[in-house]
Structure 1
């Protein structure tokens, strides 16, 4: 569609961005998730430094992303194994 200019607030700092129109909602939701995580860490831990809170948030989301990628890879391998088994069964059936 086209790029638009938006401003995103993360940890009380404003970041001007250019994003595709269809990505705007995702970017805004991501910023909200980050700010919510920062707020949670502020309330539950004795951390006040924004840099530390941002680092903890990044670690949280990077870990979640890697966990999801690993699961997708494992699921993909499992599906490939099932397809191979099904193919073998069909080959055996039709070769009789």
Structure 2
């Protein structure tokens, strides 16, 4: 399968990338838009003079959201397993 070549602009810099399909391209473009929106928000609301600081703050925000989602999934899985165990015990006790 041939890779698609695209250009993504983040913080005013262009990055040439290769993607496998249009879905991956759409994901990359949406991610770049989200990053650029967050950069603009930080620049407007905080006294930030260096692009590297804004990029670091943006990276931290995205990474922390990902980690929080991962923790939430882990907690949900534990709750689901506990409920399944409770149901299994109820059924087992009823069948005895």
Please give the range of the TM-score, normalised by the shorter of the 2 chains: over 0.9
Aligned to 2:78: 77
Which runs of structure 1 show a deviation greater than 2 angstroms over 4 or more consecutive aligned residues?
none
Aligned to 1:19: 19
CA drift of 1:48 comes to: 2.4
Aligned to 1:90: 91
Give the distance between the partners of 2:93 and 2:2, measured in 1 at CA: 53
Aligned to 1:63: 64
1:34-91 deviation digits (Å, cap 9, x = unpaired)? 0000000000000021111000000011111111100000001100100011011111
CA drift of 1:2 comes to: 4.7
CA drift of 1:94 comes to: 1.2
